[in-house]
Amino acid sequence: MSRAGAAVREGRAARGALLGAVLLASLLVLVAPVAIVFIEAFGAGLSGFAATLAHPDTRAAIGLSIVTALLVVPVNTLFGIAAAWAIARFRFPGRRLLLATIEVPFSVSPIVAGIAYLFVYGGQGLLGPFLEAHELRIMFALPGIVLASMFVTAPYVVHQLIPLMEAQGSDEEEVAATLGAGGFAIFRRVTLPNIRWALLYGVVLCNARVLGEFGAVSIVSGNIRGQTNTLPLHIELLYHDYNTMGAFAAASVLALAGLLTLVAKWLLERSGARQG
């Protein structure tokens, strides 16, 4: 009895110490840096903050990041649903290989992706002479930025959907099929409602990742101020330029997007759990 009591007390002490350590670590590693972003951003008052955000280059950077997300997220969502459907519902040769391929961006550094795109679409690259002859601009313009962002965020939606779809199985869809529902009707009325929370969750993550992407985009953007600088690249530019406050003001926009992502994630997880 007393030995068990001691063990419980010891367990409690260990749990307390562990919890304290985790809290301290998150405070130092996560909370403090994000807090500093906002403190520094408003360091010169609201007017300095507003002046940075009102600057045409900052607005152009925010606009470009949003346009990129608007192009990349829907494509990767459709791709994610199609790929997850294929992988979770069917058995075919090369299925494992497809799954592994889709997950490559998780394990490859974004800068490698950027350089790889340069080697394919750049002036000295594989398709370079063809693209130049036809006046097609991919690198150092919006298409390059979108392609690089697409590569980096390709697995996010698939990754959320496959485990769920495999766990749910295809029973409900088969029932719908025997009742005479067509393919699209099955998808819209059975599959989609079943996966919607995981799907939204994947979309939110994908969106956050697109907005924050730095490495791959940095290689293919060309860094033209007001034109091909996304928000993360613009922040770097301001920072290098000894405009610390401006860099933090622009960074606070990204941090805010990150915080909104967290809230959205939390709400989706709650809704997902409630719906089962």
Partner 1 sequence: MRLSSLAAAAFLALAPLPALAQEPTTLLNASYDISRELFVQVNAAYAASRAERGLPAVEVNQSHAGSSKQARSIIEGLEADVVTFNQATDVQALADKGFVAADWPSKFADGASPFYSLPVFLVRAGNPKGIKDWDDLVRDDVALVFPNPKTSGNARYTYLAAAAYAKEKFGGDEAKVEEFLGKFLGNVAVFDTGGRAATTTFVEREIGDVLITFEAETKGIAKEFGADRFETVVPSVSLLADFPVAVVDKVADKRGSRALASDYLAFLYTPEGQRIAAENGNRVRDPKVAETFAAQFPNVRLVTVDTVFGGWAEAQKTQFGSGGLLDRLLDQ
Binding site for partner 1 (CB under 8 A): 118, 122-125, 128, 132, 137, 139-140, 218, 222-228, 237, 239-244
Minimum separation from the CB atom of position 144 to partner 1 (A)? 9
Give whole-number Cα distances, 145 to 104, 123, 132, 148, 213, in Å.
Answer: 19, 16, 18, 5, 10
Minimum separation from the CB atom of position 150 to partner 1 (A)? 19
- State which residue, 122 or 212, has the beta carbon closest to partner 1: 122
Minimum separation from the CB atom of position 235 to partner 1 (A)? 13
- State which residue, 85 or 239, has the beta carbon closest to partner 1: 239
Contacts of 144 (CB under 8 A, 6+ apart): 117, 121, 138, 220, 221
- State which residue, 224 or 259, has the beta carbon closest to partner 1: 224
Q: Which helix (H) or strand (E) holds 105?
A: helix 104-107
Q: In angstroms, how far apart are the furthest CA atoms of the chain?
A: 85
E strands, 109-181, are: none
Minimum separation from the CB atom of position 223 to partner 1 (A)? 5
Minimum separation from the CB atom of position 118 to partner 1 (A)? 5
Minimum separation from the CB atom of position 68 to partner 1 (A)? 18
CA 273-187-171 angle, 5° bins? 70
Spatial distance between the Cα atoms of 25 and 128, rounded to a whole number of angstroms:
48
Contacts of 76 (CB under 8 A, 6+ apart): 150, 153, 154, 156, 157, 206
- State which residue, 115 or 264, has the beta carbon closest to partner 1: 115
Nearest to 213 by CA among 243, 258, 256: 258
Query: Which tokens in the block code for residue 108?
Result: 């490859």
- State which residue, 194 or 243, has the beta carbon closest to partner 1: 243
Q: Give SS3 for 187.
A: helix
- State which residue, 149 or 160, has the beta carbon closest to partner 1: 149
Residue pointed to by tokens 């304290």: 20
